[in-house]
Amino acid sequence: MVKKKSPIKIYVDPYGNTLNIWWGNPKDSVLSEEAEKSWDVICLDKNNKAIGLEKIGFFPQELDPIKYLKEKAHYLLEAKQRLTA
């Protein structure tokens, strides 16, 4: 009998500047540990089996989307005010 594999899920969080990769169910994660050099956090299930990875600081500083949005926030506020006026 062939065991059905879960699809890999990839999430990019621009606010937290993280990349999350899950090959298991994220709801099954019960423990996160500091990992080797290439990844920052490894997520484990109740059987201590790795089911996901989290890379913190995914975006380089010059491509950080939140930094860019903060710099351009006044333009976004002006546009919102024009739409609601």
**pLDDT on residue 40:** 85
DSSP codes of every residue in 26-41 = GGG--EEEE--TT-SE
Q: At 24, which amino acid appears?
A: G
Euclidean distance between CA atoms 18 and 82, whole angstroms: 33
The tens digit of pLDDT for each residue in 19-72 reads 999 999 999 999 888 877 666 898 999 999 999 999 888 877 776 666 666 676
**pLDDT on residue 37:** 67
What are the residue boundaries of the structural domains of the chain, listed by start? Answer: 9-60
